[in-house]
Structure 1
Amino acid sequence: MPSAPASAVLYARLLGRARLRHLQLMVAIADQGNLRRAAEQVGVTQPAATQALAELEQLIDTPLFERHARGMRTTAAGQLLIPVVRQMLAALQASTESLSALQQGEGLLRIGMIPAAASSLARLVVRDFVSRHPGIRLEVREDKGEHLMESLISGGLDAVLSRQPSPLPALVTFHPLLQDEAVVLAGRQHPLAGQPGLRMADLVQARWLLAPAGMRVRDLMDRFSATADASLHIHPVTTTSLAFLVEILKDNETLVLIPRSLGYSLCAWGLACALDVTDVSALEGIGLLATPESLKHPAMQSMLDVLQQGAAAIA
């Protein structure tokens, strides 16, 4: 009979003998860089922490930390293992918070949002849904669409506000909410603010802030650049941060092509303005993604109703 692979043996050993306190201590040492402070953080004595670390390193037959003059630093093995353990402990903490809400008799709804959805639809969730359902705890996570989709399929989220993925995974339904398009944003005092009937060709001489590669609006800008009569003047910063974007647009010289859904709040708050450019392109809309199981949540239909009504008013 062939022997089990070394990785399978190590995995079985960790499952059988590793303790959560071992894992908690491992992360604390990595964060503190000092065994004494890590022991205090975890709530054990320093001798107990020393013994626990020795047990863990013996268990995996690999040192996780090395000592130096100012404390402890992770080895290559520690750098590989600790991020995984950190994520596992964070997931466990999130689960206990959810469990606590259920034990206290409160409902719980876990929603994921891409930044564009958070910018345009979050206020509907906060203002309308929460006021209708004061007894429901709402957990909101903002992330990339692909990461949120993984959590939805695995059951970690009840719904996701995002663009429709292609292909749409089996057993996931998409409920359209908000149409979207590319818009050109500028500072409120930009010379072109308020000027009607602009076209992209009129903006060739402007300085442009580019979105990161891979975003749909970046593809549109690359296409515009390829067909422009002159080379575009490109801002040296590339960012997805709305805070950075606002600071850059304050120069009243730079323009940015951005989804209307993402720039909606910036214009509503008076932090930027959308130029009247008539030949921008439509983008994939934003909707609610859910599974048959998550649609059974007693508050999900109310959430969908709130979003549909609010999105219609935004449009």
Structure 2
Amino acid sequence: MTFNLQQLHAFTTIVESGSLGRAAELLHVTQPALSRSIKRLEDQLGTPLFERHSKGMQLTAIGETLLPHATLLLREADNAREEIDAMRGLAKGTIRVGAVASIATLVLPLAVSGVLARWPNLRVQIIEGVWDRLADSLLKQEIDLALSMAVPDTDEITAIADCCWEDLSYVVAALDHPLRNKANLCLADTLGLPWCLPPRGTGPFEHLERVFAEQGLGMPEIAVETRSITVLKSLVTRAGFLSWMAAPMYDTESAAGVFDTLPIAGLVGRRTLTAFRRRRGILPSPAVRLLEQLRLLTADRDNG
């Protein structure tokens, strides 16, 4: 079966906008013309894609099945156009990447700078978040690369084996935190004190859980859970909370004397970071260029 990209675009726009009228406005066509386009697609498939209601359009089971494939086909068509433009010397495409905070703070800016120095016509879209958000964005085609703490591959997402590196995480606290006055400070001394972390199930939470378990300790009581790095840093700086952060996340705060590593002897949280992509589909050329730059940077860090 051969799909018409214009019809697929009409289909996905209706899904995104929620109604025929709003989709027609976005596509700059009349509602009758848009209805005819969808009707031709439905006739080709031999089944309705939407249930029409007074308040909008709802996907049928067949429509739900078609949606991810339509999205992928449209994205691949965009990628093909970008590849052809690149071969004609008109490379303009968009790098769509997501990263956890520690990578977004240090490695990713360096990689983006290196790519744009060579291909100034490229543009970059970056989202920051913990792994579950990045994985969801990969599957929804919102990003093409995700940079995060290493996790097991899934049926739909796989790690890029030759683009990985390590960083270190520490317990952080304000410079006037009472624990800084304690001699022979150990991890057990942090139990019973207020902690703030990203939620359970995220990489930082599970990383800290392993660190405590390795020392024969249960997790401390986490008073505040948030995905906001700004909120975490404010709680540490202004409210006396402890937290767990990779070193690149707080180098600015450390240099400014805002908060820093808590001096717990011998406590270093080492973790592996890597790049991820969808298993299916072609990696767009702008993402390939970023990946090449990341490989260079991570190789330099490993050699250093």
Q: Output the TM-score relative to the length of structure 2.
A: 0.66
Q: Which residue is equivalent to 1:277?
A: 264
How do 1:113-262 residues align onto structure 2 when only pairs under 5 Å count?
114-115=99-100, 116-127=102-113, 129=114, 133=118, 135=120, 137=122, 144=131, 174=162, 179-187=166-174, 190-192=177-179, 198-211=185-198, 212-213=200-201, 215=203, 218-221=206-209, 224=212, 227-228=216-217, 232-237=220-225, 239-262=226-249
Deviations 1:131-172 (A, max 9, x none): 75365747576685996xx99xxxx97x986667789xxxx7
Distance 2:125 2:239 in 1: 34
| Cα distance, 1:46–1:175 mapped onto 2, change above 3 Å | closer
How do 1:25-36 residues align onto structure 2 when only pairs under 5 Å count?
25-36=10-21
- 8 Å contact 2:174–2:258 — kept in the other structure? yes
How do 1:7-26 residues align onto structure 2 when only pairs under 5 Å count?
15-16=1-2, 18-26=3-11
Instruction: Return the offset for 1:300.
Output: 8.2
Which runs of 5 or more structure 1 residues have no equivalent in the other structure? 1-14
Q: Which residue is equivalent to 2:156?
A: none
Instruction: Return the offset for 1:281.
Output: 3.3
Distance 2:66 2:196 in 1: 38
Q: Which residue is equivalent to 2:57?
A: 72
1:235 match: secondary structure: strand
Amino acid at match of 1:49: L
2:101 corresponds to 1:82 = no
Larger CA deviation: 63-72 vs 280-289: 280-289
- 8 Å contact 1:65–1:74 — kept in the other structure? yes
| Cα distance, 1:43–1:166 mapped onto 2, change above 3 Å | closer
Amino acid at match of 1:215: G
Q: Which residue is equivalent to 2:85?
A: 100
Q: What RMSD in Å do the two structures reach over aligned CA positions?
A: 4.8
Q: Which residue is equivalent to 1:7?
A: none
Which runs of 5 or more structure 2 residues have no equivalent in the other structure? 154-159, 277-284
- 8 Å contact 2:82–2:91 — kept in the other structure? no
- 8 Å contact 2:107–2:297 — kept in the other structure? no
Instruction: Return the offset for 1:259.
Output: 2.8
Q: Output the TM-score relative to the length of structure 1.
A: 0.64
Instruction: Return the offset for 1:271.
Output: 6.6
Instruction: Return the offset for 1:215.
Output: 2.8
Distance 2:34 2:192 in 1: 63
Sequence identity (%): 22
Distance 2:20 2:289 in 1: 48
Q: Which residue is equivalent to 1:62?
A: 47
Distance 1:123 1:58 in 2: 48
- 8 Å contact 1:112–1:140 — kept in the other structure? yes
Amino acid at match of 2:59: T
Distance 1:110 1:76 in 2: 33
| Cα distance, 1:80–1:136 mapped onto 2, change above 3 Å | same
| Cα distance, 1:33–1:261 mapped onto 2, change above 3 Å | same
Instruction: Return the offset for 1:200.
Output: 1.0
Instruction: Return the offset for 1:19.
Output: 1.2
The structure with the larger Rg is 1
1:254 match: secondary structure: coil
Instruction: Return the offset for 1:69.
Output: 2.6
